[in-house]
Amino acid sequence: MPLVKIETRKSWRASQKAEIMEAIHTAMREALKIPEIDLGFNLKV
């Protein structure tokens, strides 16, 4: 299970954070064939 650390600016809206997390999760599911329920994220603002 891969772990992803995402650092964003404090000025990012919640919707922007959700969009980037979804895009990364989708890419990992397609490229690494991880399960859809595997959410190894660490979001640092």
pLDDT at 16: 93
Q: What are the pLDDT digits (tens) for 18-34?
A: 999 889 889 988 998 88
Q: 25, exposed or middle or buried, with CB in 10 Å at 0-12, 13-18, 19+? A: middle
Q: How confident is the model at residue 45 (pLDDT cuts 50, 70, 90)?
A: low
Domain ranges across the chain:
4-44
- Residue 25 — φ and ψ, nearest 5°? -60, -45
35: pLDDT strictly greater than 70: yes
CA nearest neighbour of 42 among 13, 17, 19, 23? 17
